[in-house]
Chains A and B, each alone.
Chain A
Amino acid sequence: MIDSLQQIGYGLSLAVLPQNLLYAFIGCLLGTLVGVLPGLGPMTTIAVLLPLTFQVGDPLGAIIMLASIYYGAMYGGSTTSILLRVPGEAASVITCIDGYEMAKQGRAGPALSIAAIGSFIAGTVSVVALSFVGPAFANFAVSFGPPEYFALAVFGLVLSATIGGGSPVRGICMVLLGVLFGLVGIDTVTGAERFTMGIPAITDGIDLVPLLMGLFGIGEILYNLEQKGEFKLLKSKIGRLLPNREEWKESSGAIGRGSVLGFLVGLIPGGGAIIGSLMSYTLEKKLSKTPEKFGQGAIAGVAGPESANNAAASSSFVPLLTLGLPGNAVTAVLFAGLLIQNVQPGPLMLVKHPDIFWGVIASMYVGNIMLLVLNLPLVGLWVQLLRVPVWILGPAVLLVAIFGTYSLRSNWGDVGLLMVAGGVGYLLRKAALDAGPFAMAFILAPIMDTSLRQALLMGDGNIGIIVSRPISATIIAITSVVVAYTAYSYLKAGRTQEFSRPDNS
């Protein structure tokens, strides 16, 4: 406890350095901006800006900026949900329901402010909890050997494939595909070349950054070419900004529950802001004495989900930083950002890079305050941004992606890979195949492969070693339960079930 407090103090001393404050501010500003603008989500932005963070040079500054874009977008995403009924980013989908109804009733101000205040409280609660849970996770994971790592990677991938809300079969398909492409390049165990077809450019594997930028950045703008339409701002005024006593009373419990629920959901691989907000809305409706008000402008339907998505966005850093396991697509891209800076996330990160671990966590405290200031008094300014023509975003993303990709290695082939990956990203969107599990599997494939083979060597060729050690056996048992339950639900629902379309933005 005291140790954690000392470490937070150390982190804060790094987070308040002028350059790190600047990176956090730029990230919060960009995050709020992309959160507000529909069609440009945190995933696209973080992916496209990855090469720029390489140019930053300082790993801590780079990760602070990327992380603040992520949680900044969670703040900003509520604005368009409330005023336009268009979610600025995927995790704010649920806010549209009651937020927009409140705006129609002339209560846009309280809806916007409760979303920002809830986000602030939840983000802060989550970061405080993260400061204590993170080291505990890392200490526990230090004892992991190859069987545990293999089991953990399988667990993470199974969850990412099955609990995203889309078809679990399609999720598993993307995981398997990600494993195949993630293994292209030199095999680290035998030194043999795998699936390179003699192309020197991919001897070290398919480069992660152009791949992710193409899948999520270019793929997204290609998909957006189909979505035409202008956004119509609600004519009614935002009105008073602060909630009244009654609204505070209705929101306070929802914010508290949303914070705790979101934090727990974010810890689970495959969980994250979207699931956190959906679960919070369901919970609030069930607990409410007046559930019929939900959908008619219930402030708890805004406060709960908005708190949950922020808490989950922060806590999803725990599996990333302490286990080296990206829990969702956004943290998979952040994983790539760490690798660009030669920082290997995992249990040893606390020992090898305590500055980054504690600096990033402390910067979230600072970032939450910046975001409250940016979002609450300046909400009118953000609304004005919606007057920017949407068609400008496509060419802008395109140019940043192209220049950014080339800037990393001055390699023309990377620009080609960016375009091909963009085409694939578009195809996957159209086919309702989520690129998130693909990205996670692509990143985890080498870890899975090496740990599986090392585990088999440890067990003299017997795969049973994975289920003979207590931790790996427990993880495999939980994974099996998830698989069995998913298979049962899938078969029970029948093949005609409509699955939600993945939203990569």
Chain B
Amino acid sequence: MLRVFERPITVAVALIAAVAVAFGVASWRLGFWTDDGPGPGLLPFAAAVLLAPVLLLILREEFDSSERFHPRPLTAILVLCAYAFVLPYLGFLIPTALIIIAWVRWFEQQSFLKGAVIAAFLLVSGWVIFVYLLKVPMKMLPGLL
């Protein structure tokens, strides 16, 4: 049963359906018409309702049924979200260096050394462009600006 969720289109349709229901309910509550005229819920409700037949049609399309998720990008998404979560606490320098090394080593399947060299090069370039030249206040280390 759960194998249907290996297909990207099934996952996408399920998520879009959930989004449509949530927006549809919220639009209903906002109202379609007020004393002054058309309400804020009118257009989003119409869009949410129209999504229902569209999603059904998509599910009936036979498109690339062999397409499956690849573990590498899925892991990368989790790593990126974890990275965004720790950034405010650790600053840019350490998490960014680690993520580039990890990216090069595991996602691009290159050596640690190459990862370290690329991380150093990109971080120095990024610092020069954004902090030194463009004067953007970037928090590079915890507690520092």
Give A contacts to B, CB under 8 Å: 52, 55, 167, 169-170, 172-173, 176-177, 179-180, 183, 187, 189-190, 192, 194-195, 218, 222-223, 225-226, 391-392, 394-396, 398-400, 402-404, 406-407, 410, 412, 415-416, 418-420, 422-423, 426-428, 430-433, 445, 448-449, 452-453, 456-457, 461, 495-496, 498-499, 501
Determine the distance from Cα of A173 to Cα of B110 in the docked complex, in whole angstroms.
39
- A432, B67: Cα distance in complex, Å: 10
Which listed residue (B12, B44, B100) contacts A427, Cβ 8 A? B12
Across-interface contacts of B119 in A (CB, < 8 A)? 395
| B44 touching A452, Cβ below 8 Å | no
**B37 close to A420 (CB less than 8 A):** no
Decide if B104 is an interface residue (CB 8 Å cutoff).
Answer: yes
Could you tell me if A169 and B44 are in contact, using CB atoms closer than 8 angstroms?
no
Contact: A399 with B122, CB < 8 Å? Answer: yes
Q: CB distance A190 to B130 under 8 Å?
A: no
Residue contacts A-B, CB under 8 angstroms, 11 given? A180-B44, A195-B26, A391-B110, A402-B96, A407-B134, A423-B80, A430-B8, A430-B67, A431-B9, A433-B9, A495-B61
Interface string of B88-123 (1 = CB under 8 A from A): 100010001001100110011010000000110011
Look across to chain A and name the residue whose beta carbon is closest to the beta carbon of B100.
A395
Which residues of chain A are near B48, meaning CB under 8 Å? Answer: 176, 180
* B26 → chain A closest CB, angstroms: 5
Residues of B within 8 A of A (CB): 8-9, 11-13, 15-16, 19-20, 23, 26, 30, 33-34, 36-44, 47-48, 50-51, 54-55, 57-58, 60-64, 67, 69-70, 72-73, 76-77, 80-81, 83-85, 87-88, 92, 96, 99-100, 103-104, 107-108, 110, 118-119, 122-123, 125-126, 129-130, 134, 136-138
Interface of A is mostly: helix
Known: A173-B54, A433-B12, A499-B63. A179 touches B44 (CB 8 A): yes
Q: Smallest Cβ distance from A399 to chain B, in angstroms?
A: 5
Contact B12 A428 (CB under 8 A): yes
Residue from A194, A398, A419, A498 within 8 A of B30 (CB atoms): A194
Interface pair A399/B96, CB less than 8 Å apart: yes
Looking across the interface, which residue of chain B has its beta carbon closest to that of A175?
B47
- Sorted from nearest, which 10 A-B pairs have the closest CB atoms? A430-B8, A431-B12, A391-B108, A187-B40, A453-B38, A407-B136, A423-B77, A431-B8, A222-B73, A416-B84
> In the complex, are the beta carbons of A415 and B84 less than 8 A apart?
yes
Given contacts A391-B108, A407-B134, A457-B37, 19 further A-B contacts (CB under 8 A): A52-B129, A169-B57, A176-B50, A190-B36, A190-B40, A222-B73, A391-B110, A394-B103, A395-B119, A403-B92, A415-B84, A415-B87, A416-B85, A426-B73, A431-B9, A432-B64, A453-B37, A453-B43, A499-B63
In the bound complex, do residue A225 and residue B118 qualify as a contact, i.e. CB atoms below 8 Å apart?
no
B111 to chain A, nearest CB (A): 11
Give which listed residue, B51, B54, B70, B92, contacts A225 with CB less than 8 A: B70
- Check if A431 sits within 8 Å of B134, measured CB to CB: no
CB neighbours (8 Å) of A445 from chain B are 43
Which residues from chain B contact A457 at a C-beta distance below 8 Å? 37-38
Contact status A194-B67, CB under 8 Å: no
What is the chain B residue whose CB lies nearest that of A402?
A: B96
| A398-B103 in contact (CB<8A) | yes
Name the B residues within 8 Å of A426 (CB-CB): 73, 77
Residues of B within 8 Å of A394, CB to CB, are 103, 107-108
Distance of A149 Cα from B127 Cα, bound (Å): 44
State how many angstroms separate the Cβ of B45 from the closest Cβ of chain A: 10
Distance of A199 from chain B, by nearest CB (Å): 13
Question: How far apart are A10's CB and chain B's nearest CB, in angstroms?
Answer: 30
A391:B54 contact, CB within 8 angstroms: no
Kindly provide the distance from the CB of A412 to the nearest chain B CB, expressed in whole angstroms.
Answer: 4
Partner of A419, one of B60, B81, B104: B81
Residues of B contacting A501 with CB < 8 Å? 64
What chain B residues lie within 8 Å of A177 (beta carbons)? Answer: 16, 19, 51
With most chain A CB atoms within 10 A of its CB, the pick from B26, B38, B123, B129 is B38
Let me know if B54 and A169 touch, CB within 8 A.
yes
A22 to chain B, nearest CB (A): 14
Q: Quick check: B72 and A226 within 8 Å, CB to CB?
A: yes
The residue among A179, A225, A396, A449 with the most chain B CB atoms within 10 A of its own CB is: A225
Q: In the complex where A173-B51, A173-B58, A431-B11 touch, is A192 in contact with B80 (Cβ < 8 A)?
A: no
CA of A346 to CA of B77 in the docked complex: distance in angstroms? Answer: 37
Whether A498 and B63, one on each chain, are in contact in the complex, defined by CB atoms closer than 8 angstroms, is yes
Contacts of B129 in A (CB 8 A): 52, 403
Contacts of B40 in A (CB 8 A): 187, 189-190, 192, 194
**B80, B118, B119, B123 — most chain A CB neighbours (10 Å):** B80
Which of A189, A406, A498 is close to B138, meaning CB atoms less than 8 Å apart? A406
Q: A476 to B50: give the CA distance in the assembly, Å.
A: 18
Kindly report which residue of chain B lies nearest to residue A426, judged by CB atoms.
Answer: B73
A155–B40 CA distance with the chains assembled, in angstroms: 22
When A187-B40, A194-B26, A407-B138 are in contact, do A225 and B11 touch as well, CB less than 8 Å? no
Question: Among B9, B40, B48, B103, which residue has the most Cβ atoms of chain A within 10 A?
Answer: B40
CB pair B118–A392 under 8 Å, yes or no, is: yes
CB distance from B48 to the nearest CB of A (A): 6
List residues of chain B with CB within 8 A of the CB of A218: 80
Q: Tell me, rounded to whole Å, the shortest Cβ–Cβ distance linking A275 to chain B.
A: 21
A495 near B62 with CB under 8 A, answer: yes
Residues of B within 8 A of A194 (CB): 26, 30, 40-41, 44
